[in-house]
Chain A
Amino acid sequence: MRQADLAVGPYTLTCALGSGLRAVREAIRTGRSGLRPYTSAQVSCYAGAVDGLEQVAWSGPWARWDCRNNRLALAALEADGFAQAVAVLRSRLGSERIGCVMGTSTSGIGATEAAYRDMRARGAEALPAQFPYRETHNIHAVGHFVHSWLRLKGPALTVSTACSSSAKVFGVAARLIASGTCAAVVVGGVDSLCDTTIHGFASLQLLSGRPARPFAADRDGISVGEAGGFAIIAPRGLMDGAVLGLRGTGESSDAYHMTAPHPAAAGALSAMAQALRAAQWTVADVDYIHLHGTGTPLNDAAEDLALVSMGADKVAASSLKGALGHTLGAAGIAGVVFTAEAMAAGLVPATTNTDCIDPAVRSAIAVAAQRRPLRRALVNAFGFGGSNSVLALALLP
């Protein structure tokens, strides 16, 4: 979709690498990985966990909202002064003019997993009446929480299209602004570690026993990570000092399989082509592609095929899934924040953990960081159910 002149304003990310943009910048410079050994009910793997989430228990009016996913959301909102930036915008535009569109795949289902363990221990058959389903497990719990915490009064909804969720939110925001419904939208994504995803990916044999190595010859699956990230989207005229523009979005469906990518990468290709068309760019205009690059043999091969098919195999590209893990519903916003910081630094980030590219991969995957001007970039995010989303970002002149 062609965007009006939209800017990506203040943004932030909290992930396994640390809290806020300082950790992101350091990781882009050094290629550091935040993946560590992780054990979840008999599954041993590596995961990108965020430190410190166990140490805070919520009380008072927010007690019912207490779960790992909302704790992660709050930690991310407090990083880089993001919540304060929203407060400033609120006083300028009015809270009813600002929407809130979040992405997640599992929201706070970890709370229900814990409640089921408790049910089992007590021999109970049902969740107790006081279990806060709405505020924790429900898909919209995170959107509702962020909307309430930031005291916004515009539209609030939560997108859940698996691993493309927090890339899709940018398209929703652009439509809310273009339709005149909102003056600005807080977008973001929050997904936290839980047994459902660790065991689920293990059951599909998509979980690596080692840290994920996207596009490596010996890649054998993902490492799950958790992250929370946010950005403000608004017309450029409302965003003094913004350095990044949202030039276009591309979305498609594979219509092929619930988990495996389309063998000809038709969906990925179509979403990337749409984003280029919307931005009025050709492949030659693109300086960097932030790959979805999960680290499974099939996903990476399909994404490589998409780049080759559109003639983008000479464009510098990398995946950060070896640095922070696959953050699922937060992968889109994590990709945007990493890409924004890479563009600001003029540095193509390395594909962390990958030393030796699969000889079958033809795209220009960066193994080491490369210094060069990055003015225009694509960010890919693809998910289960064949859900594809691609964003076109540009440094503002």
Chain B
Amino acid sequence: MKVAISGIGIMAEGLPDWESARRVLRGEIPYEKQPLRTACPGGLGANEARRCPLPARCAIDAGLQALAMGPYAPSMVATVFSSASGDLDIADRNCRGLVAPAPALSPTLFHNSVHNAPAGYWGVATGAQTRSISLSAFDDSFGAGLLEALTTVTVAGEAALYVAYDMVPPPAFARVRTVAAPFAVALVLAPAGTPGCAVMEASWVPARVPETRMGDASLEDLRRHNPAARSLPLLDALARGGRASIGLGCGGETGLCLTIE
């Protein structure tokens, strides 16, 4: 499956946009963790802006960055959202409400608890009525979502915005789920032959492939401890330019082999 990459977005601590991330990945500036800077996405009404949870804000920010690099408006792309664990902060608040002496759930927290909440806010914020999917493959969610985005582009011939995100779980989940730092990444994939920043060839293989790791220890730590940050070796190759091969887990005992040119 061959596609053009026509936009990249990122939202992580110390990596607030693609330009900063590119310089960090090229070794031009050191990687330093900074507090996450997410603005509330434009296009949302006052009530929706207030209700919009952190994963959706990070996902929308990264998605808009990626589209801004290329020729596609939100109304021109299908969207694929992947997240291993969705919004555990909301699951925590809902479960606390449900086990209280007078059980109660907030209507906002309930509708924000759906795994496709970021996709829903994306639609409301951008007005895009294109098709959208939200999925999980646990720690292989980045690879599985990329496979879905790749088949969307190569089979349906449409450009696709792919956004992967995972957030730090609340303290109640600390012993059962580790995500060390928040991370959201977005890629715009377009049919091969479309102008873009790189060409990516991908093949799915029915076996675990050796995962490409990061040379920098703190970035490798980030990659290992956030499923969306499994995208870092791909981002690293895109930042450096030139030819590179990358291995990714893709759900079950399967993998994706990527070649970037």
Contact = CB atoms under 8 A, between A and B. Distances in A.
Contacts, number: 239
A159 interface: yes
A204 B107 contact: yes
Given A127-B176, A266-B129, A270-B129, A175 B152 contact: yes
A253 interface: yes
A179 B150 contact: yes
B151 A140 contact: no
A255 B91 contact: no
B89 to A, nearest CB: 13
A161 B98 contact: no
Is the interface on chain B under 10, 10 to 19, 20 to 34, or 35 or more residues? Answer: 35 or more
A52 interface: no
A158 B132 contact: no
Interface string B65-94: 000000000000001000011100001001
Contact of B254 (A131, A155, A174): A155
B155 A1 contact: yes
B115 A153 contact: no
Contacts of B124: 255-258, 386
Interface string A28-63: 000000000000011000000000000000000000
Contacts of A256: 123-124
Indicate the member of A131, A199, A270 with the most B CB atoms within 10 Å: A199
A384 B152 contact: no
Given A125-B171, A154-B254, A384-B120, A134 B91 contact: no
Contacts of B131: 251-253
Interface stretch (B12-20, B31-39, B245-253): B245-253
Contact of A387 (B98, B119, B127, B141): B119
Given A139-B115, A255-B126, A256-B123, A172 B148 contact: yes
Contacts of B172: 116, 119, 125-127
B227 to A, nearest CB: 10
Interface in B99-113: 99, 102-107, 110-113
Nearest to B156: A1
Interface residues of A, number: 75
Contacts of B252: 100, 144, 147, 152-156
Nearest to A163: B114
Given A153-B206, A181-B151, A251-B131, A127 B116 contact: no
A105 B251 contact: no
Given A156-B137, A178-B151, A253 B176 contact: no
Given A109-B91, A117-B99, A203-B107, A159 B134 contact: yes
Contacts of B148: 157, 172, 175
Interface in A244-302: 251-259, 266-267, 270
A179 B113 contact: no
Contacts of B175: 126-129, 131
A138 B85 contact: yes
Nearest to A202: B105
Nearest to A117: B99
A69 B154 CA distance: 34
Given A131-B176, A199-B104, A161 B133 contact: yes
B239 interface: no
15 contacts: A100-B252, A105-B114, A116-B172, A127-B172, A147-B252, A155-B147, A155-B204, A157-B135, A175-B152, A176-B147, A195-B103, A251-B132, A384-B116, A385-B123, A387-B132
Q: Which 3 A-B pairs have the closest CB atoms?
A: A385-B120, A200-B110, A96-B206
Given A126-B171, A126-B172, A160-B114, 14 more contacts: A119-B99, A139-B85, A157-B145, A157-B251, A175-B156, A178-B155, A179-B151, A200-B94, A200-B105, A200-B111, A253-B132, A257-B124, A383-B114, A385-B123
